[in-house]
Amino acid sequence: MTIETQDLAIGYPGHEVGSGITLAAGPGAVLCLLGPNGSGKTTLFKTQLGLIPARGGRVLLEGQPLDHLSRAEIARRVAYVPQAHAPPFAWSAFEVVLMGRTARLGLFSQPGEADREAARRALARLRIDELADADYTRLSGGQRQLVLVARALAQETPVLIMDEPTASLDFGNQALVLREIAGLAADGLTVILSTHDPDHAFAVGTDVALLHDGRVRATGTPDAALTGDTLSAAYQIDVRVERLADGRTVCLPSLARHGESHRT
């Protein structure tokens, strides 16, 4: 399923966060959004999910205007992994993942065995089945993040929007989540994620959008969009982009002030 934004303006009453945002992602794509804090990534996601209205332009899901769809119709098409989640009750991790099935249940329906099996599959895919009975509120930040990713997987939607899905994760679990993201795209899902690490975009991204001050400053493949110049301008720090002998690409930020060179 394709999700598009056309000349989108985002923000809140009396406060525009961004404008002129035109992006698209389709089946098999991993669109990575990068940009400094405050550049509008989370607000863009909330607008794409219909949680806040567009201030201008529009969002399309498979060609349909988002504002023509009900909340349930959107939830059956798009799953969301937020940056953080603080439930009001001490649910188990399994119960939190099972909540991902809500969009597929009737108003007064209870989850059935098929729903429980989908939740178990999602936990197993992320190798956190042993956390199923654990109190979600007592898990570490990284463990809670993995549970939220599992909840989105259990929702079984064709589009997945992930707001910094590797936040709070250790090095190994970051690699696990990135691998699963690549696997989901290979299975034909549409994935949009935000990250503060350009290396993640080089690792799994098919496309990149670099946001700065509410505008898209660069788009394209990671190699085309994430250059030393574009990253330096967005983050106000000198950045080198290096190609390693094995074909991987890494970004190396300088510790000098932006525009200053190291002195020997």
- For residue 241, name the pLDDT band (cuts at 50, 70, 90): very high
The answer to whether 43 touches 18, Cβ cutoff 8 Å, is yes
Q: What is the pLDDT of residue 110?
A: 86
End of a domain among 156, 185, 212? 156
68 and 30 within one domain: yes
103-131: average pLDDT:
89
Q: What is the pLDDT of residue 264?
A: 37
- For residue 107, name the pLDDT band (cuts at 50, 70, 90): low
DSSP assigned state of 92: B
Domain hosting 148: range is: 85-156
99 and 22 within one domain: no
CA atoms of 195 and 165, how far apart (whole Å): 8
Domain CATH number, residue 192: 3.40.50.300
116 and 224 within one domain: no
Q: What is the pLDDT of residue 61?
A: 97
Q: Give 80-104 pLDDT, tens digit per residue.
A: 999 877 777 789 999 999 999 998 8
Q: Give 149-164 pLDDT, tens digit per residue.
A: 999 999 999 999 999 9
62 and 166 within one domain: yes
163 and 34 within one domain: yes
CA atoms of 211 and 181, how far apart (whole Å): 21
90 and 19 within one domain: no
190-208: average pLDDT:
96
The answer to whether 75 touches 50, Cβ cutoff 8 Å, is no
167 and 239 within one domain: yes
151 and 101 within one domain: yes
Cβ atoms within 10 A of the Cβ of 252, count? 11
227 and 103 within one domain: no
165 and 63 within one domain: yes
DSSP assigned state of 31: E
The answer to whether 157 touches 62, Cβ cutoff 8 Å, is no
Q: Give 39-77 pLDDT, tens digit per residue.
A: 999 999 999 999 999 999 999 999 999 999 999 899 999
237-257: average pLDDT:
87
219 and 140 within one domain: no
Tokens representing residue 81 in the block: 């992994």
- For residue 141, name the pLDDT band (cuts at 50, 70, 90): confident
From residue 25, alpha-carbon distances to 31, 193, 234 in Å are 6, 11, 23
210 and 123 within one domain: no
Q: What is the pLDDT of residue 263?
A: 42
- The tally of domains found in the chain comes to 2
